[in-house]
Amino acid sequence: MPKTETLATQSKPAVSAVEMGARQREISVSEFFTKNRHLLGFDNARKALLTCVKEAVDNALDACEEAGILPDVVVKVEAVANGEAPPPPSQATRFRITITDNGPGIVRQQIPRIFAKLLYGSKFHRLRMSRGQQGIGISAAGMYGQLTTGKPVRIISRTSPRSPAHYFEVQIDTKKNEPHILEKKEIAWELPRGTQVTLEVEGRYQKGRASIDEYIEQTIIANPHVRLTYVTPEGETKEHPRTYAELPRSPREIKPHPYGIELGMLLKMLQDTGGHTLASFLSGDFSRVSPALAEEICKTAKLSPRARPRDVHGQAAENLYKTIQSTKIMAPPTNCLSPIGERAILSGLYQQIKGDFYTAVSRPPGVYRGNPFVIEAGLAYGRGPEQAAESQEKKAIPLAEGEAEPSDNELARVIRFANRVPLLYQQSACVIYKSVLDTTWRNYGVAQSRGAAPAGPMVIFVHMASVWVPFTSESKEAIAEYDEIRKEITLALRECGRRLGVFLRRRERAHSEQRRRNIFDLYIEEVVESCNRLKSGRLATDKLKEQLQRMAMKRTGGERTDELLGRNGGGPHGLPHSIIVTPEGVEGEVPTVSTNGTAPAPAEAVEETPVPEVSPRKGRAARKVRGKPRAKAKPAKPTKPARRAKRRKA
């Protein structure tokens, strides 16, 4: 066979399987993310800077809240340069970020791994609502800093006033995804308790959309219980005081709901379980599966309830999985969620955004893929009385021929939050933004072009709280589209819109009456003066003016209109959880602010505790009950309680 021989000599493989095998090796997760840092939000210098701040602040807030401490966070961003004087912030390419919190601190042994090992953390393995989910964020930020500046992450942490503060300098060994400690020592630290993280990264500082400033502003809106001090790269210190002195209810950890898991997950759980029988595994490792229900599932799947979980695999496991999916199981508990709450949203919006009208809506919990979630929406409309007065003043300059008032076609701003974290990128990919576009705002008296956000001076706030927020990517920028989520968002937006519509119509009515009278009053002056001139100045002008004014009054409904307008026209009557700001003052229930940081009467905490084990159907009923004590707890305007009390009686 000479032919085969020649063939063999000709096509001698360049690389043999053995050689290829020698090249094949494991990829560490840190190596993967070094190459794919855009997946984590480090795609450009400006975004990277923001991501670093964001990850550190998220961690600080999560830690404080879990430990039950009202967060007190300092964010400091400074431009740095190697040796020389730092350039102005807008030109700088290197920044030092320092985030200090008053949280519980971190035990010494854990510090290196938390900050210099990817996918290491407390949050991934449990179903509990928190800002962080995967344990990538802060260590990825550290890795990014290491990659771009070569500087380690510096950490100071102290767990109590009695224990010493520990100082660490750590780097990540990207090959092994293991921490590498450069320095550790005990130091004196002025804070009795807390953690401070310092990162040095390459970045770009620019104000405007999706900037650090915007992130801070939005964080304050969704977290009015946080006191946040922000030292800008320009060296300016911005104090954001705590405006809502109540810690959000600590969310509980839950077990996975059977609807939310996949077959592979089930197989893994079967192997890892501590339960001795299949029935005890089902009822013990899942939420909403009672022993009776577990027996029933086993029966339907034609498996013995007393079988050892470890022995269930292959076809049997698949049958079990299918049976679980087709069995009717109660929706997961919702006490694992900690929504912001209507009052806190109102408070946040009211403090941060200037407007004439504010409202907030919390939806009852919903479920997608076995994960419970809550949608909350808020809305701030208008430019605030000060600005309105300002524009009035500006208009006082008479217009020349052909000159028109500048028309503003400002579109509404949508601010999105997931577990209290602002989402600043990929707006159009997010289910929240899509839901805003799909809502027909025109029904509520707001202009909206086809396929665009509503037009007007308006900020739309939407928050999704869930044990697992379905992000479209690891950098957590947009929420994926699930029908259940979309439906809840739409319902919340519609309720906000409905209230806005009532407000706008009411205001429009008041204005048009006022305008009518103003028109006559304005022109009376002119007519009387002209008549006087025609009469060569021999006219009893005051008498004529008074006669005409009295007629104008009579023709616009007389004084009764005035009274009606004043009394019934402006108040937020019939608009729950709304605030209306007028030049005369604020109408509605402005959430109380306690300046010294101590929590006010714990009315909110009590009422927010949901009835344990609620199904969505019951949840709605429970919420109705909740509404009443709230009204009682609130210090409303002096005129309000009387009417409110009457309504309660009726």
List contacts with other proteins (CB under 8 A): 392, 395-399, 401-402, 516, 519-520, 522-523, 525-527, 530-536, 539, 544, 547-548, 551-552, 555
Complex with other proteins: residue 398 or 638, whichever CB lies closer: 398
Please say which residue, 7 or 519, places its beta carbon nearer to other proteins: 519
How many DSSP H helices and E strands does the chain contain?
Answer: 20, 16
Min dist CB 585 to other proteins, Å, is 24
Q: How far apart are CA 112 and CA 152, in angstroms?
A: 11
Helices (H), 190-249: 212-222
CB 411 within 8 A of CB 428: no
Contact 169, 143 (CB under 8 A): no
Tokens describing residue 171: 């780097």
Shortest separation between residue 570's beta carbon and other proteins, angstroms: 22
Least Å from the CB of residue 556 to other proteins: 9
Nearest approach in angstroms of CB 521 to other proteins is: 9
CA distance 53 to 55: 6
Residue 322 or 395 with smaller CB distance to other proteins: 395
- CA-nearest of 105, 170, 161, 163 to 143 is 170
Cβ atoms within 10 A of the Cβ of 147, count? 15
Q: Which is nearer to other proteins, 295 or 521 (CB)?
A: 521
CB closer to other proteins out of 14 and 397: 397
- Closest approach, Cβ 560 to other proteins, in A, equals 18
Residue 458 Cβ, how far from other proteins at the closest point, in Å?
A: 25
Question: Which C-beta is closer to other proteins: that of 124 or that of 523?
Answer: 523
Taking the least distance from each CB to other proteins, the nearer of 175 and 555 is 555
Distance in angstroms (rounded) separating the CA atoms of residues 196 and 333: 35
**C-alpha–C-alpha distance, residues 184 and 156, integer Å:** 10
Nearer residue to other proteins within complex by CB, 262 or 559: 559
End-to-end CA distance of the chain: 105
CB of residue 552 to other proteins, shortest distance in Å: 7
**Which residues, 6 or more positions from 396, have their beta carbon under 8 angstroms from its beta carbon?**
none
Which positions ≥6 away from 151 have C-beta within 8 Å? Answer: 145, 199, 200
Residue 209 or 554 with smaller CB distance to other proteins: 554
Residue 399 beta carbon to other proteins: minimum distance, rounded to whole angstroms: 6
| Least spacing, CB of residue 515 vs other proteins, in Å | 8
Beta partners for 402?
none
Token pair listed for 535: 């009469």
Beta-strand ranges (E) seen in 369-432 are 371-381, 413-418, 421-423
Strands 194-202 and 578-582: unpaired
Do the bridges between strand 72-79 and strand 227-231 make them parallel or antiparallel, or are there none, so unpaired?
parallel
Q: Could you tell me if 285 and 275 are in contact, meaning their C-beta atoms sit under 8 angstroms apart? A: yes
